[in-house]
């Protein structure tokens, strides 16, 4: 069942009912100011940091779930309703929500009054615009009252929902000329305030929540709205809000536009006040002035649209499959940009007060956005590297505000360091910026202890080598990519975290996943050394990768697939000998990606086993069979009910590793089958099962052992976005940046006969036409560049041309 449709021309998903199976959300803002907004206008906004600078309140896991946002109420003689349906929930005659690139437009029509609200953050500003267009489509004059509503968060989102002995006494506002200023804490250490204003005289206002709602009422029945009269309340402590009241009269056919601005202002300390106790409002007034006309807002909207056209212009596919095109051209790269902005902090599943930026997460995310924003990717790499320790190990997370490593979670996830190499190489292959390798970067953020980025990468590589176990395979530490495979943890205390609790001292638990990763990344690293003329180092790295490969073949292969790990006692995990958890997805992906077993049939057997044991109609589960009870020697993985999360859920993040592995065996039909199964656009028709947004990936879909097989959780902020983008663009469609040009090596379903790709790479536009006359999956027979035939499928990047036309004939 569908709840809307894709409007590809406008790059929007159009939702046709407010009653989606779950709130379907979008993100506003891309620089300093961000908002989350659902299809019924729920959500909140913040400046830079969702915990410390939250402007509006949001209660997670509320009843009903998505209650609280930027709401409007319309009141007339008949009664009152919300044009965004929530929070009043009165039926509308027409409803539509368009989630676009960085904006959301919600239209509600009732009794021939059409209200369209555009929510957006203009480029370069720390404000949200709520543009309300009202149109009387009736033949009679309409008179009604419009109320706005937002609830302020007292800045620190964590204190705001825990520390009531303080927060109930500190709330403070000012009202000036119809604009409501939120200035809690401003009299002491804060030099920031927020404001909510409108480009129209107001007939009333409220700033105290109880006064507006009435003490016993919810957001769906504010007393002020029911009575059609604001209380003109001035908050003092308790819960400050902002609500404007405007009386409106529209002639038949008449239209009116109101522009509401919700903004964040920082004042220099010496300019905080304009009189004792009165905040300096100059900066806010300037913004209210700047956006007080329909024209100004319209231009800001066009500029935002243009900005996204630019970002999304770097890779455009044109195929016979519109679902594929909309994933690759619009929604997947859009989601990748969201993971760049948010990492794992603020979504409808992550509250924005907990986790910082993950070391491994951020490195992987980079694969998905490096071509869109290479300069920011460069900065990101250097920030991440600066949190690395001198022995090559890494903080598992760091705080985006301070850019320092996070002590509470610390280190010891032994896959972490290697991801940095992968990210750095992806960046250089995209940009050709080898200079980044010489950039001086601190260790553990200590400016007195620096090393070049290249030295950091060496230390990452050596960290694995310095931490090998009895089989010469990498020690797993606290966990590897699978945060829940905690082999040294042995936790019996429900009050401690699996990820941070004291581990047993053991140097036996080994990860075949990290081994595969080490070989894959080692080969890449050797390639980099070679390219920069360090042949000796290239040989050394390659030699270590070869040794690891041998160890994997000797000790890391079961009968038909790669083992997952050795536990604390040296026993096998992910083996046919085990009763549960016989086969895991991660090592099958990364070991084959590393090329292990391709020449002797082991790789093929492993991927066949994936198909046989892990494949379901909704994607590949993480392992099989699911653990049915908690196992001390395995940790958190066995704590989840069968079929959820790491315990045999379809953990979408690692499905693309299998897609990529399949392309290395040339099996394009399989690779694409796996792609299609989890790509959200293909799940639109089963939205009642999948339940989450059909335009973005979710971290997890319940596996075959779960009662609700096929149901997704945790949409938006997941490494799934970057890896699927990697799999489809570089390995299935097969356009891969290399150090000095593009490799074109598609691996597609046999029945695809033609694809066109436009790739902007280092400033040159490559128009690539791929033809498949013989119906093969892989293999390139002929390549012409600007009508000249060339040997091989490597397109050297020569910058004298600005456009190149490439024809590739498969066969």
Positions that interact with ligand GLC (CB under 6 A)? 344, 358, 360-361, 481-484, 499, 636, 645-646, 699, 718
Phi/psi of residue 80, nearest 5 degrees = -145, 160
Could you tell me the CA-to-CA distances from 309 to 14, 303, 329, 369, 769 in Å, in that order?
19, 10, 10, 15, 22
205: Cα separation from own chain's centroid = 37
Nearer to ligand GLC (CB atom), residue 115 or residue 647 = 647
Question: Residue 428 CB, nearest distance to ligand GLC (Å)?
Answer: 24
- Rounded Cα distance between 103 and 29, Å, is 8
| Residue labelled with tokens 């400016």 | 447
| Residue labelled with tokens 């040159």 | 764
Query: What are the respective helix, strand and coil percentages of the chain, to the nearest 5?
Result: 30, 30, 40
Nearer to ligand GLC (CB atom), residue 358 or residue 710 = 358
Angle at 142 between CA 141 and CA 144, to 5 degrees: 155
At 95 the three-state DSSP class reads strand
Question: Residue 478 CB, nearest distance to ligand GLC (Å)?
Answer: 11
Question: Residue 354 CB, nearest distance to ligand GLC (Å)?
Answer: 8
Nearer to ligand GLC (CB atom), residue 104 or residue 482 = 482
**Joined tokens for residue 287:** 């913004």
Radius of gyration of the chain (CA): 28
Single out the residue of 507, 640, 514, 627 nearest to residue 565, CA to CA.
514
Question: Residue 636 CB, nearest distance to ligand GLC (Å)?
Answer: 5
| Nearest residue to ligand GLC on Cβ basis | 483
Could you tell me the CA-to-CA distances from 409 to 158, 472, 632 in Å, in that order?
19, 27, 21
Q: Which of 160, 325, 361, 483 is flagged as catalytic?
A: 483
Give the number of other Cβ atoms within 10 Å of residue 201's Cβ: 10
Question: Residue 805 CB, nearest distance to ligand GLC (Å)?
Answer: 41
Which element (helix H / strand E) includes 152?
Answer: strand 142-155
Nearer to ligand GLC (CB atom), residue 207 or residue 699 = 699
- Burial code (b: 16+ CB inside 10 Å, e: under 16) for 571-604 equals ebbbbeebebbbbbbbbbbbbbbbbbbeeeebbb
Question: Residue 358 CB, nearest distance to ligand GLC (Å)?
Answer: 5
- Rounded Cα distance between 27 and 696, Å, is 12
Question: Residue 476 CB, nearest distance to ligand GLC (Å)?
Answer: 13
Nearer to ligand GLC (CB atom), residue 83 or residue 680 = 680
Nearer to ligand GLC (CB atom), residue 297 or residue 610 = 610
**Joined tokens for residue 705:** 């052992």
Task: Tell me if 586 sits within 8 A of 657, measured CB to CB.
Answer: yes
Nearer to ligand GLC (CB atom), residue 136 or residue 362 = 362
Could you tell me the CA-to-CA distances from 602 to 552, 558, 560, 562, 746 in Å, in that order?
11, 10, 7, 9, 23
- 71-76 and 79-81 as β-strands: parallel, antiparallel, unpaired? antiparallel
Nearer to ligand GLC (CB atom), residue 148 or residue 699 = 699
Nearer to ligand GLC (CB atom), residue 341 or residue 699 = 699
Give the number of other Cβ atoms within 10 Å of residue 250's Cβ: 19
299: Cα separation from own chain's centroid = 28
Nearer to ligand GLC (CB atom), residue 74 or residue 727 = 727
Q: Is 160 a catalytic residue?
A: no
Q: What is the largest CA-CA distance in the chain?
A: 85
Question: Residue 413 CB, nearest distance to ligand GLC (Å)?
Answer: 8
Question: Residue 313 CB, nearest distance to ligand GLC (Å)?
Answer: 30
If 0-12 CB within 10 Å is exposed, 13-18 middle and 19+ buried, where does residue 788 land? exposed
Question: Residue 343 CB, nearest distance to ligand GLC (Å)?
Answer: 9
CA atoms within 13 A on the CB side of 118: 21
- 803-810 and 764-771 as β-strands: parallel, antiparallel, unpaired? parallel
Question: Residue 489 CB, nearest distance to ligand GLC (Å)?
Answer: 11
Task: Tell me if 545 sits within 8 A of 466, measured CB to CB.
Answer: no
The alpha-helical segments, DSSP class H, found in 251-391 are 282-290, 294-311, 322-326, 332-342, 359-369, 374-385
Nearer to ligand GLC (CB atom), residue 105 or residue 355 = 355
In sign, the C-alpha dihedral spanning 217, 218, 220, 225 is: positive
**Active site members:** 483
């Amino acid at each position: 069942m569908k709840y809307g449709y894709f409007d590809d021309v406008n790059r929007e998903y159009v939702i046709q009912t407010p009653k989606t199976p779950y709130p379907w959300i979008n993100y506003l803002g891309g620089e300093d100011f961000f908002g989350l907004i659902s299809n019924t206008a729920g959500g909140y906004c913040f400046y830079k940091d969702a915990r410390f600078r939250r402007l509006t309140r949001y209660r997670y896991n509320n009843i009903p779930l998505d209650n609280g946002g930027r709401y409007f109420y319309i009141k007339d003689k008949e009664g009152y309703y919300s044009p965004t349906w929530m929070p009043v929930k009165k039926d509308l005659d027409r409803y539509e929500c368009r989630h676009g690139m960085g904006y959301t437009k919600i239209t509600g029509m009732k009794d021939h009054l059409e209200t369209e609200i555009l929510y957006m953050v203009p480029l370069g500003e720390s404000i949200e615009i709520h543009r309300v267009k009202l149109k009387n489509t009736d033949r009679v004059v309409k008179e009604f009252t419009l109320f706005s509503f937002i609830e302020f968060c007292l800045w620190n989102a964590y204190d705001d929902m825990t520390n009531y002995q303080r927060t109930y006494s500190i709330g403070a506002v000012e009202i000036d000329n119809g604009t409501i200023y939120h200035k809690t804490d401003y009299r002491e250490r804060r030099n920031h305030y927020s404001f909510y204003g409108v480009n129209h005289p107001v007939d009333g206002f409220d700033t105290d929540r109880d006064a507006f709602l009435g003490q016993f009422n919810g957001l769906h029945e504010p007393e002020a709205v029911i009575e059609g009269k604001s209380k003109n309340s001035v908050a003092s402590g308790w819960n400050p809000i902002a609500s404007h009241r405007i009386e409106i009269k529209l002639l038949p056919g008449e239209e009116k536009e109101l522009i509401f601005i919700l903004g964040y202002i920082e004042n220099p300390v010496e300019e905080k006040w304009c009189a004792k106790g009165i905040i300096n409002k100059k900066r806010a007034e300037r913004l209210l002035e700047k956006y007080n006309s329909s024209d100004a807002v319209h231009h800001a909207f066009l500029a935002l649209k243009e900005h996204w056209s630019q970002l999304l212009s770097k890779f455009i596919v044109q195929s016979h499959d519109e679902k594929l095109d909309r994933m690759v051209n619009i929604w997947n790269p859009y989601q990748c940009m969201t993971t760049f902005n948010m990492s794992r902090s603020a979504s409808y599943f992550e509250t924005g007060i907990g986790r910082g930026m993950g070391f491994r997460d951020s490195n992987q995310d980079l694969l998905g956005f490096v071509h869109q924003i290479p300069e920011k990717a460069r900065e990101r790499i250097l920030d991440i590297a600066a949190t690395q320790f001198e022995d090559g190990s890494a903080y598992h997370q760091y705080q985006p505000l301070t850019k320092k490593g996070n002590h509470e979670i610390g280190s010891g996830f032994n896959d972490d360091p290697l991801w940095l190499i992968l990210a750095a190489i992806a960046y250089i292959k995209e940009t050709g910026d080898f200079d980044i390798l010489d950039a001086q970067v601190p260790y553990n953020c200590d400016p007195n202890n620096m090393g070049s980025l290249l030295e950091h990468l060496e230390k990452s590589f050596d960290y694995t080598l310095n931490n090998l176990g009895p089989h010469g395979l990498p020690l797993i530490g606290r966990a590897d990519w699978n945060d829940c495979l905690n082999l040294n943890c042995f936790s019996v205390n429900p009050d401690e975290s699996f990820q941070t609790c004291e581990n047993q001292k053991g140097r036996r638990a080994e990860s075949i996943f990290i081994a595969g990763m080490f070989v894959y990344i080692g080969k890449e690293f050797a390639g980099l050394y070679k390219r920069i003329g360090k042949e000796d180092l290239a040989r050394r790295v390659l030699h270590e990768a070869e040794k690891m490969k041998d160890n994997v073949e000797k000790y890391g292969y079961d009968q038909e697939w790669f083992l997952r790990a050795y536990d604390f006692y040296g026993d096998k995990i992910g083996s046919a000998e085990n009763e549960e958890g016989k086969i895991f997805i991660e090592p099958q992906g990364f070991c084959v990606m590393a090329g292990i077993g391709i020449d002797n049939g082991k790789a093929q057997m492993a991927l066949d086993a994936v198909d046989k044991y892990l494949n379901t109609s909704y994607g590949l589960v993480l392992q099989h069979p699911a653990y049915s009870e908690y196992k001390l020697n395995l940790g958190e993985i066995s704590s989840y009910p069968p079929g959820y999360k790491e315990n045999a859920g379809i953990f979408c993040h690692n499905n693309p590793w299998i897609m990529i592995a399949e392309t290395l065996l040339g099996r394009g039909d399989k690779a694409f089958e796996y792609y299609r199964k989890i790509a959200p656009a293909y799940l639109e028709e089963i939205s009642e099962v999948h339940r989450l947004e059909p335009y973005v990936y979710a971290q997890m879909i319940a596996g075959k052992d779960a009662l609700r097989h096929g149901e997704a959780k945790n949409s938006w902020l997941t490494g799934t976005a970057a890896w699927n983008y990697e799999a489809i663009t570089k390995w299935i469609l097969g356009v891969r940046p290399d150090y000095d040009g593009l490799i074109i090596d598609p691996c597609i379903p046999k029945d695809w006969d033609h694809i066109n790709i436009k790739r902007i790479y280092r400033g040159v536009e490559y128009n690539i036409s791929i033809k498949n006359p013989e119906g093969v999956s892989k293999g390139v027979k002929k390549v012409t560049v600007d009508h000249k035939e060339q040997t091989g499928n490597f397109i050297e990047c020569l910058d004298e041309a600005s456009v190149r036309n490439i024809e590739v004939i498969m066969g």
